[in-house]
Structure 1
């Protein structure tokens, strides 16, 4: 199914098209990333992760809709959702998008746990895909000098690695935790 066909609101096609245009950019935060997050959300929903699939899918569509490497990308994405989504979704989608700034959802928050896990599952990708992801992240931050990027990226990865679990749902931990930790360790070592 095309990415456009995965839009969760049967109407609001103009908004879908605006989002597709926003995601049409080079680097990691592109349409492939959106498709992968949606794929992982479907996997977690099928495994019984306990969240409303429409709301969390909308949050996926918005979570990196604004991405220019700035410190407020998630906030600007959340504000966009608040401005344009129907009231039944706007506040919750914005809350979920803001959570992706740090990927530290509360354990008793199934929608946030699912979105965080789906977004971070790239960390468990096979080596070739992981390396493409890491190169895409570097491209996203091409405006940052290499030493500063390496230090910043290593700090982000070390912060993630320090968490007791990278993933918050049992399903995601079983599927992705070990591979993700191996990839993180390798990239942190490469950045040193």
Structure 2
């Protein structure tokens, strides 16, 4: 966790803050959130994966350190029982409140809030390079090799263990259908060229398993 905390402090410095003890504690509290026991996919591993994509492709963003801060906050609040975009709304509000309290300039904190909100629907304006990098990083798992994608889908199901199977299938199918309805899953050309086709293949494959009709039983 020490490495992650240093990445947190580096992003804060890059965003114009002067990190001190308050910044370190804020990072520790964020990590506590990412380690909540009900999380199965939205964990420190997901946070790290998103940050790794942002770091690898930082040159594609206008203000990569703000994208990094948004990555830290984008699932800071994660309650599988929440409805709609409540988690993203609460995460964004928490980000703006905490960052402002730590001395981040008001426009910077507001921009981090805006970026976090984009992860609710992953709809990004064509000229929004920062939003594109954050959303592409958040959805990178969709382009994982099939076995890794299946582990991701299984982890999502565990997070929603409280939901009966028929309701989960319907809800998850709606989410996947919404993703497939996007003009593109990935916006930044270097990432889209590598990830769009395998991601759509994975999503279609999962969707097919969710919507498959149950075969009838009994003698014909």
Superposed CA offset, 1:57-84 (max 9, x none): 0000000010012120000000101111
Q: For 2:56 and 2:32, how far apart are their aligned partners in 1?
A: 26
More divergent stretch after superposition (138-147 vs 96-105): 138-147
Matches within 5 A, 1:1-192: 2-7=3-8, 8-10=11-13, 11=19, 12-25=23-36, 26-45=39-58, 48-69=59-80, 70-71=82-83, 72-85=86-99, 86-88=104-106, 89-192=108-211
The TM-score with structure 2 as length reference comes to 0.83
Q: Contact conserved, 1:44 with 1:171, CA < 8 A, in 2?
A: no
Q: Contact conserved, 1:125 with 1:180, CA < 8 A, in 2?
A: yes
Superposed CA offset, 1:12-57 (max 9, x none): 1111001000001331100000000001111221xx3132111000
Q: Runs (4+) of structure 1 moved beyond 6 Å?
A: none
Superposed CA offset, 1:113-144 (max 9, x none): 11000000110011221111111111222222
Q: Contact conserved, 1:68 with 1:140, CA < 8 A, in 2?
A: no
The alignment partner of 1:9 has SS state of helix
Q: For 1:187 and 1:60, how far apart are their aligned partners in 2?
A: 26
| CA positional deviation for 1:164 | 2.0
Q: Contact conserved, 1:56 with 1:93, CA < 8 A, in 2?
A: yes
The TM-score with structure 1 as length reference comes to 0.94
Q: Contact conserved, 1:51 with 1:114, CA < 8 A, in 2?
A: no
| CA positional deviation for 1:6 | 1.6
Q: Which has the higher contact order (CA 8 A, sep 6+)?
A: 1
Flag structure 2 segments of 5+ consecutive residues without an equivalent. 14-18, 212-220
Distance 1:37 1:141, change over 3 A: same
